[in-house]
Structure 1
Amino acid sequence: MNLSVFGVKWPVTTSMIFLAAILLGAFAWTQLGVDLMPDFEIPVVSIITTYSGCGPQEMETSVTEPIEESVSTVENVDEITSTSLEGISMVTVKFDWGVDLADVTNDIRDKLDLVARRLPDNADKPYIFKFNTSMIPVCMMSVSAEESWDKLDKITDRKIIDALKRINGVATAIQIGGDKRGVLVDLDRERLQATGITGNQIVNALYRQNIDNPGGTIKQGQFEYLCRTPGKFTHVDDLKSVVLATKPGVVRLGDVAEVRDGYLEKSTEFFINGKRGIGIMVQKQSGANTVTVADRVKKALPAIQADLPPDVKVEIIMDTSDFIKSTIKNLTNAVLLGGIAVFFVIFFFLRDIRGSLVVCTTIPTSLILTFLFMYIAGYTLNQISLSSLAIAIGMVVDNAIVILDNIKRYLERGVSSRESAISGAVEMGTSVMASTMTTIVIFLPIIFTTGITNIMFGQLAMIITMALSASLISALMLTPMLCSRLLKPAAVGSSGAIIAKPGFLDRVEGVYEKLLKRIIANRWKAVGGLIVIFVLSFGLMKLVGIDYMPVQDQGRITIKYELPVGTRFEVTGDFGRKIEAIVKERVPELKTLVLRYGKATGQGGAMSGSRNFSYTGQVSIALVPKDQRQRGVKEIIEDIRPEIEKIPGIIVNFDSGDPMANMMGGGGAGFTLNLYGYDLKTGMEWANQLKQALVNVPGLKDLEINQDLAQPELQVVVDREKASTLGFNVSDIGSTIETYISGNSTVKYQEGGDEYDVVVRLRPEDRDKITDLSQIPLISPTGQVVRLENVAEIKNEFGPTSVSRSEQERYIQITGQIYGRGSGDISADAAKVVDSIPVPPGFTWRFAGNEEQRQESFVVLFQAALLGCILVYMVMASQFESLLAPFIIAFSIPFGFIGAMLLLILVGSRVSIVSLLAFLILIGIVVNNGIVLISYINTLIRRKIPLNEALLMAGKSRLRPILSTTATTILGMMPMALSTGEGSEVWVPMGMSVIGGLLVSTLMTLFLMPVIYSLFSRWLVPARQISRLEAN
């Protein structure tokens, strides 16, 4: 049975079906989580290996290369990149989209087990972590104290971080900064030389004396006794009495070293609003909801604070959920305002409250049914899903408007309500299904894409598809039923007509009819003008910029700064405080100011990447919410940039702080250029030439090279012959130097359930100067004391700060930030600059990061658009049973793109993957008006109406439904397009593109499509009607 017939004949059953669905959908809506973006998994796995004291080039050959070779054999690997730093190797494996990360991670773990024997003995075991959106911190916390500072590290770890980890949904809490307690064994060089004891002997002695040994069990009588030898140190003073030698006399550790309970050598500092403290970065579990986790953390904070000493203060300095809540609130308001605007538009055209309510029931019905689908599919309320609803809000009423408009025509002729509802709905059923299908099929290719395109828009395509499907069912089933119960027939032209045309629309129809008649009479001039406009529109591409993804103003600015290579971290802190002073003076919108400098260690250090040194730091700025400030992030950056760049000897880089865009694009850099080649010296010379030339590219700022060959090194070149004669080898000498200078922390000291490093190294006064290195004592197997200078030459050299590789090939990276122009335009200009400078032999180059992602995404979207156009054509060809009619309708599509670009230019936006999606949506929308118009022209011609008369009658008759459906779509999207709140940078270009495209394509449909039809009527109209048409 036809849905419309069923709905009218069984009104109670129909009402119950929709009410049940609405109840389930309303419950589903209350259960939906809230997040910034859809939950997704990035197919990237990183392998981090630490090897204390190892230089970047040695790290590359001894650790990075073996790991790269082993993991390259894993299936579905797309790309392997690596960074080798001092003491750290980070190998990043990018897989094809759609792989099961759990499976490939297990494969990588198996490969690492096999390669472990090839790694240096002193290298730590590689550990693996997977990239995902949970890596974006839920919140950042600060811990400060006065009297309790000495104990703050332990308090933070035991009472704050442990409590945070117990919160449901929290994956981990990472500590940043703080003084780390340790047991310091400061060796006296002269005493070591006098006693003939080496640093490695001391480490071995401590290790052997600091162990609990099991001894088995002894059974006696009825009892069984466990036998063990407790040997762990119970007090720091226990270490002093450890015997190191007995001949010629007893030598204890306290005789050759100062043993004290203190703090490990500091390499990084963390300040909050000018006050020294400790930072805590809270990350959520994969799949957990950001807002929910953040709320739980804030709820647990009072209890955590109550358990701390009075002077210890914990506060949240950055909360990701605040931006998410504001963004979702803005989008929700856009949806509600769009719905209200749609109602008033419908009422304006219908001038009947009952008819308007009938149509508008489609909005809540469709949306609530969509919520039910979202719940079943596991979606959340996020930017993408709510943008989808904002786009759909004006489209879901289109079918109901067309159905209602046809039903009212029967009612105006006096047909009964029941028969009018059935006949009007059945007659237009095929048309509304076809028009809905043209919109739905345009989204099908997106659903089946992979990568960033699917992450960004796969959910959008599914939600709009479900909303339109729900609106179609509602229009075919619920709308006729409501019309049959609420609307009454009336005599044609009587004052009681169900829908009375307002005088304004009468005048609009009259003007439209005159204009259309004139255009048809001058059809060739109209076509000529059309061609001219189309040709001139190609110039628009030069005016509208090309970008990858709009960057959101999240109220954060990160200022990364760098001093000359080798600068001590204490000096780096002084420069950071100068930047702080400038920010405090020039940024009244400031909310929180965080300064972090120096070389981070542990997991935080490994994750910091290639710019994690004693001479680097960053100032993180959190601003008040967007609605409380007059300036955007970019304006503030441009205000403080000149003052900061005046600081002598400093290199700065500004980042506007969109972590999601950074993770999905270029890691924070808007511009990325990779230079591939083995010779680092030649590569750096080329990179410096390019950097100086790229400075002249308009809009490209903060250029930075990720490589530096100015890292000062003291290279100990061993004379192998002399060393062998005295009983030494290179390995023994290197190990001794490492212990004395860097320190050995193999031994651990336990107290109160905590474990602390025991660091064995020379005392500071014996290792502060370069000349101290040559005086290091070496003890031969025969007990002879030899100074290092007697078996080795110490050279002052310079080496690389890091070595980066991609696909097992070295590369140097130039990055920069983009201001005021599109990334596509910047890349085009940069390519010309690169081409103008000779490429050294053995080197190649290509763009990476955002530009690489943009090109890939644009290709995917163009492919989806092409496939979507083919599917739309197939739907229209099936409806009209004609291969030519769809081409007539398709003439409006290019002009929709022209309108979209015009409006983007007017509002200062650029073509990005967001606006490209809007172009894709336009393809499905703009043809709907054409379908309605061409369908009615065909109907009139089948009634043997003369061609020109049919064109005029169809245009005038379809004017109101076309204008009303276009107006509902445009005004439904207007609140989203005009939004200025948080997150608006993403959806404003989408809304503007659809609005501009619809405005121009609707004019094209109303005025020029009848002309195009008349030109091709010979092939569109059956042959037996041609002579009759020509006669008229």
Structure 2
Amino acid sequence: MSEESQASGEEAAGEVAAEPLEISPQAPPHHVRVNAIVRYSVERQITMAMGVLGLLVLGWLSLTRLPLEFLPAFSSSNIWVNVPYPSASPGEVERELVRPLEDGLGTLNALETLTSSASADGANVNLTFVDGTDMDLAAVEVRDRLDRVRDRLPSDVERIYIRRFQSSDIPVLRTSVSSNWSRERLYDFMEDVVQPRLERLEGVAQVQVRGVQRREIQINLIPARLQASGIDVRQLSAALRQGNLNVSAGYLEEGARRLQVRTLGELTNLQEIRELPIRGDGLTLADVAEVDYTFPERESWDYLNGEESISISINKTSTANLLRVVERAKGEYERLLASPEGQGLSLRHFHDTSVDVSEGLSELTRSGVLGGGLAVLFTLIFLRKLRTTLLIAIAVPLSVVTTFVFIYLLRQADLTEMTLNVMSLMGLMLAVGMLLDNSIVVIESIFRHHDELGEDARTASLRGASEVAMPIICSTATTMSVFLPVLFVGSAGRFGRFMGDIGLTVCIVMAASLLVSLTVVPLVASKLLRSEPPSKPGLLSRMVDAYGWTIALTLRHRFVFTVGAILVLVGSWKLYSGIERTFSPPSEGRQLSLFVDTPRNYSTEQRAEVFDQIYALLDGNREKWEIADIAHEYRRGGGRSRNRHGGSGNRFEIYLVPEEDAQKRASDIQAEIRDALPTLAGVIFKTAAAQHGPPGAGSSQVDVELVGDDLQVLELLAPRITGTLSQVPFLKDVDTSLESGAEELRLQVDAERSVQAGLSTQAVAQTVSSALSSRAVTKYKSDQREIDVVMQYREEDRETLDQLESLPVFGDTPLQLGALVQAERAAGARTIERENRRSKIEISATTVGDMPSFAAMGMVRRTLGGYQLPEGYEWRFARSWRDAEEDADSTMIAFLFAVILVYMIMAALFESFLQPFTILLSIPFAFTGVGLIMKLAGQPRSSTADMGLIILAGIVVNNAIVLVDHINTLRADGMSRDNAVILGGRHRLRPILMTAITTILGLFPMVAPFFLPQVFGQPEGRAAFWAPVGLVILGGLTTSTFLTLLVTPTLYTLVDDFKLFFERVVRSARSVGPRRAARDGEAAAAEPAV
């Protein structure tokens, strides 16, 4: 700013108080440097027309080639290791499997948490790595460590499974298959026909068939024949292993040839197994056992709507279009049913992700189109010029098309994995209202040059667009910049990873909108702009005059307005901070889960009776509870219905009718079902509702962990903590991960007798295990796959203790097992859970009603905060809750960084450290609207709402940027400060109002269900999850726009006065030194010479 304009600004500081201002409605003429992009667009019309046409074609091609998903692609930072080890106790699994695995995996690079569990089925280890870790490299390192520790594991461990969870692991289609066929025929048809045909479909990555058991070769030993033949079961096991081998024996040099030598002894068919010699006298396996190729003993039962069924899950490849994959799969199912070999089969698709995707994308598309239509309609009503409105509306389709092109190009360059999903389309919907902002500001400036300054259409387009080029570039940059903290600071959290697609989409859309406003809009305006007779002053003119008078009033009473602004800020923060906080908004899906925990000593028949009773209850209330399908499963072993490491069993999945056909909320139905469940001795029921959004969204469960070195101490502490939490009024269904161990039979080996019989304790244990264990003894290799060979006593010969005690054990002399062991019955060990090599017990509770998550956490903290635990033992929230707290902290840090970035961009635009503070104060004024609208909608603060706050920080400053930049331009042309403030406000009122209202209208369909449920439906499911973003932006922008128009002019003058005062102090300080030196010189000259 020049010294003259600064001086005029100083003089103007006192003008307002002295006399009323007389201001011309026109600004003085000033020189505008034409922007190079604008000039090129207006002068190269044919080139631009071809460019737009090419963009439309590329946009359509890009749209058809972009993968369609429900949620963004993501990869978990966890690796799961599973080691199956059936027929073992949890204590044995912990000692033989878990501890060696912990030793081998505990020192992995970037490992954050190692969680393990030991159960009767085997060992599970969950490795959680630091966010940002290269998971491909981590998986390779995990395999390497497992290879090293393999020798420390029991020799009969067959497989170690390693699994990583990615978004592509979520099935796109789940189908239930039932039939009147025999079990053998149905299973063979699924494995040999259905699964291969589905796997051959384009875009299908994996087909999983659940409920099908693989047949195995069963060697059922006959005790009487074993005893009569004097055969020890250990001998049989050894004979099977040693008689089923192919061994590479080296090489033979035969003349000039070198031949590889292999000894072949693998069994090639079932008859060879039967005829396997087990003794030199011709005794074969068939002489002492029944050998069959059949199904193993059933371990689980699956049903859909009361009929036993098999479920098929289809996963797609990462690049395939979800809708097309599902369509192909359904077509293949139809062809199977129509074929002669498929007669008698019945299918039901009970979980179709394509429906969720189609509905979600349709909702967002409808909301976006409606929002864009409202914004354009308002522009037409406001301007009352169809040609101008169409000119502005061009920005919407061109910007959207450009967005598709950029996303496709970024994917081709491997710079992003973004797809078309609910998050990226949500970004489009958020940007719909803002798409018009830049075009409105540009066309308004062009109109002012044409109508008020009398320039021709071409000149007005060039100069008008160039005049506002820097302000709209800056305002667009502020909107885009707020997403950088989300990508860098928030990317570590779950919501940061999901919201990245929203941020990238908004950035691309806004950049496309900026490009269109500086190229297409001035080009079309230079052709379509026509001179029109001046219209009569209307409502808008009166609003402009009233606003100019209001600014003059605020400048005369700056102290009063400043105090009022401070009071508004204080009230805004109190209102906003008083809203309860939760992790994510409640967003119910139309699916319920009912977990059924039965005592482990229940027989399969007793467990089936419980499930039949519950199914009858649900099936008899289908209409009342709006149930579409009921799937349930139970397992032979019973016990806990939820495996915390990924497994499941003993549960009902209740699929409700779609939202559009529903009369009740899913949570209300859940409560009704819970109240109607019968009371059964020893049976525990738990219900849960499916949630939309990122993992963990909308959870109503509070999880607490007890951690310490000694599991027995934890088992004593857990009931006390559970009892304390049960007293909390807003918690229910308080339960622990402890479960009553299965009753077990303990055989205490008499060491002295065993030695006398020439047997070791290990030999006795191996004899019992060989007779009873269902582990595979060896493998039989068929043409297609490996088949387990299992050896054990016949089922009728291993039902009682007497039969077990009569088991022959061969040492120096044959003895019965009962002579060597003492049998006793006792409660078995529970599942053992550990974290970072310390024992752990989990305690869970469900919150009552819609209690916000942070309120529940605070209540638990207050309840357990003073609870005294022994030294070395602690309680803490489960990892998912700790992660959610970190997400909330990261989001607020991202908000602060966003504000700093916005300041930096504005400081660069205005070449001032002070003026950006004038604009930044628009942000706290937004909290007034945010607090009001969240209260009216009854919504808590959440991570989703915080994302709206971050976006809001980049939007609310745009109006003030345009206003302040124009005031600076007027002052640079010689106008006094206060006159420039008033005239700048008059000039920019219309574009500010238009841009704000079009953005608000663009967002209105997103939040409409909260205020007009009769028209737009109840805010449930997906709408309830993403609506808080729109609520925050809409409410904050509404109040911020109004308050910014009132407060910014006053703040501008106050900041300018502070700047002038500071400059005077600096000038005064600088002039003190020379004046003092001059006085000292004069004094020295006056002194007489000595």
Aligned to 1:400: 439
Aligned to 1:594: 631
Partner of 2:156, secondary structure, is coil
1:798 partnered with 2:827: yes
Relative to structure 1, is the Cα distance of residues 871 and 645 closer, same or farther in structure 2, using a 3 angstrom cutoff? farther
State the AA in 2 paired with 1:12.
I
**More displaced 10-residue stretch of structure 1: 644-653 or 572-581:** 644-653
1:705 partnered with 2:736: yes
Aligned to 1:479: 521
Relative to structure 1, is the Cα distance of residues 338 and 905 closer, same or farther in structure 2, using a 3 angstrom cutoff? same
**More displaced 10-residue stretch of structure 1: 561-570 or 390-399:** 561-570
Aligned to 1:352: 385
1:818-829 map, 5 Å: 818=847, 819-829=849-859
Aligned to 1:72: 106
Aligned to 1:655: 688
- Alpha-carbon distance between aligned partners in 1 of 2:318 and 2:163, rounded to the nearest angstrom: 12
**More displaced 10-residue stretch of structure 1: 983-992 or 1004-1013:** 1004-1013
Question: What is the aligned counterpart of 1:807 among 836, 857, 865?
Answer: 836
State the AA in 2 paired with 1:734.
A
**More displaced 10-residue stretch of structure 1: 450-459 or 366-375:** 450-459
Mark the runs of 5 or more structure 2 residues left unpaired by the alignment.
Answer: 1-34, 412-417, 1010-1018, 1066-1090
Relative to structure 1, is the Cα distance of residues 931 and 36 closer, same or farther in structure 2, using a 3 angstrom cutoff? same
1:678 partnered with 2:709: yes
- Alpha-carbon distance between aligned partners in 1 of 2:474 and 2:966, rounded to the nearest angstrom: 14
Aligned to 1:630: 663
Relative to structure 1, is the Cα distance of residues 1024 and 862 closer, same or farther in structure 2, using a 3 angstrom cutoff? closer
Aligned to 1:468: 510
Question: What is the aligned counterpart of 1:433 among 452, 455, 473?
Answer: 473
CA contact (8 A) 1:78 1:94 kept: yes
**Could you tell me how far 1:66 is from its partner in structure 2?**
1.7
State the AA in 1 paired with 2:871.
P
**Could you tell me how far 1:997 is from its partner in structure 2?**
0.8
CA contact (8 A) 2:336 2:342 kept: no
Question: What is the aligned counterpart of 1:768 among 799, 803, 807?
Answer: 799
1:273-672 map, 5 Å: 273-305=305-337, 306=339, 308-378=341-411, 379-413=418-452, 414-449=454-489, 450-451=491-492, 452-490=494-532, 496-497=533-534, 500=535, 503-509=538-544, 511-513=546-548, 516=551, 518-540=553-575, 543-550=578-585, 552-588=587-623, 589-598=626-635, 608-609=643-644, 617-644=650-677, 646-658=679-691, 661-662=694-695, 670-672=701-703
Relative to structure 1, is the Cα distance of residues 453 and 229 closer, same or farther in structure 2, using a 3 angstrom cutoff? closer
**Could you tell me how far 1:145 is from its partner in structure 2?**
1.4
**More displaced 10-residue stretch of structure 1: 179-188 or 392-401:** 179-188
Relative to structure 1, is the Cα distance of residues 953 and 772 closer, same or farther in structure 2, using a 3 angstrom cutoff? farther
Partner of 2:81, secondary structure, is strand
**More displaced 10-residue stretch of structure 1: 796-805 or 336-345:** 796-805
Aligned to 2:131: 97
Aligned to 1:987: 1026
- Alpha-carbon distance between aligned partners in 1 of 2:205 and 2:380, rounded to the nearest angstrom: 52
- Alpha-carbon distance between aligned partners in 1 of 2:964 and 2:409, rounded to the nearest angstrom: 39
Which runs of at least 4 in structure 1 moved beyond 6 Å after TM superposition? 211-219, 224-231, 1022-1026
Question: What is the aligned counterpart of 1:870 among 900, 911, 914?
Answer: 900
1:937-952 map, 5 Å: 937-942=967-972, 949-952=979-982
Aligned to 1:721: 752
Aligned to 1:107: 141
Q: Report how many aligned residue pairs link the two structures.
A: 1004
Partner of 2:650, secondary structure, is strand
TM-score relative to the length of structure 1: 0.90
State the AA in 2 paired with 1:169.
G
- Alpha-carbon distance between aligned partners in 1 of 2:101 and 2:265, rounded to the nearest angstrom: 40
**More displaced 10-residue stretch of structure 1: 266-275 or 544-553:** 544-553
CA contact (8 A) 1:549 1:661 kept: no
State the AA in 1 paired with 2:141.
D
CA contact (8 A) 1:198 1:779 kept: yes
Relative to structure 1, is the Cα distance of residues 136 and 702 closer, same or farther in structure 2, using a 3 angstrom cutoff? farther
- Alpha-carbon distance between aligned partners in 1 of 2:473 and 2:637, rounded to the nearest angstrom: 61
**More displaced 10-residue stretch of structure 1: 635-644 or 1015-1024:** 1015-1024
Relative to structure 1, is the Cα distance of residues 849 and 508 closer, same or farther in structure 2, using a 3 angstrom cutoff? farther
Mark the runs of 5 or more structure 1 residues left unpaired by the alignment.
Answer: 491-495, 1027-1032
Relative to structure 1, is the Cα distance of residues 544 and 291 closer, same or farther in structure 2, using a 3 angstrom cutoff? farther
Relative to structure 1, is the Cα distance of residues 168 and 569 closer, same or farther in structure 2, using a 3 angstrom cutoff? farther
1:433-460 per-position Cα deviation (integer Å, ceiling 9, x unaligned): 1211211222222233433344212222
1:827-879 per-position Cα deviation (integer Å, ceiling 9, x unaligned): 11111122243223321222234322222222222222222211111111222
**Could you tell me how far 1:486 is from its partner in structure 2?**
0.4
Relative to structure 1, is the Cα distance of residues 286 and 679 closer, same or farther in structure 2, using a 3 angstrom cutoff? farther
- Alpha-carbon distance between aligned partners in 2 of 1:387 and 1:524, rounded to the nearest angstrom: 43
Aligned to 2:7: none
Percent identity reads 28
1:681-760 map, 5 Å: 681-697=712-728, 699-748=730-779, 756-760=787-791
- Alpha-carbon distance between aligned partners in 2 of 1:954 and 1:97, rounded to the nearest angstrom: 49
1:587-645 per-position Cα deviation (integer Å, ceiling 9, x unaligned): 432222111111699xxx999546969xx601012222221212232222122111126
- Alpha-carbon distance between aligned partners in 2 of 1:180 and 1:715, rounded to the nearest angstrom: 31
Aligned to 1:1030: none
**Could you tell me how far 1:425 is from its partner in structure 2?**
1.3
Partner of 1:143, secondary structure, is strand
Aligned to 1:898: 928
- Alpha-carbon distance between aligned partners in 2 of 1:720 and 1:747, rounded to the nearest angstrom: 30
- Alpha-carbon distance between aligned partners in 2 of 1:233 and 1:918, rounded to the nearest angstrom: 66
Relative to structure 1, is the Cα distance of residues 67 and 233 closer, same or farther in structure 2, using a 3 angstrom cutoff? same
- Alpha-carbon distance between aligned partners in 1 of 2:935 and 2:808, rounded to the nearest angstrom: 73
Alignment root-mean-square deviation, CA: 3.3
State the AA in 1 paired with 2:513.
S
1:152-203 per-position Cα deviation (integer Å, ceiling 9, x unaligned): 2222111112222222332322222245544443334344344432222233
Relative to structure 1, is the Cα distance of residues 796 and 543 closer, same or farther in structure 2, using a 3 angstrom cutoff? farther
**Could you tell me how far 1:516 is from its partner in structure 2?**
4.9
1:81 partnered with 2:118: no
Relative to structure 1, is the Cα distance of residues 814 and 1023 closer, same or farther in structure 2, using a 3 angstrom cutoff? closer
**More displaced 10-residue stretch of structure 1: 207-216 or 533-542:** 207-216
Relative to structure 1, is the Cα distance of residues 568 and 867 closer, same or farther in structure 2, using a 3 angstrom cutoff? same
**Could you tell me how far 1:56 is from its partner in structure 2?**
1.7
State the AA in 2 paired with 1:598.
R
**More displaced 10-residue stretch of structure 1: 194-203 or 136-145:** 194-203
Question: What is the aligned counterpart of 1:49 among 56, 80, 83?
Answer: 83
**More displaced 10-residue stretch of structure 1: 945-954 or 109-118:** 945-954
**More displaced 10-residue stretch of structure 1: 806-815 or 762-771:** 762-771
Partner of 2:964, secondary structure, is helix
**Could you tell me how far 1:1002 is from its partner in structure 2?**
1.0
CA contact (8 A) 1:446 1:453 kept: no
Which protein is bigger by CA-based radius of gyration?
2
**More displaced 10-residue stretch of structure 1: 333-342 or 858-867:** 858-867
Aligned to 2:965: 935
**Could you tell me how far 1:260 is from its partner in structure 2?**
4.8
Question: What is the aligned counterpart of 1:138 among 162, 172, 177?
Answer: 172
- Alpha-carbon distance between aligned partners in 2 of 1:600 and 1:669, rounded to the nearest angstrom: 29
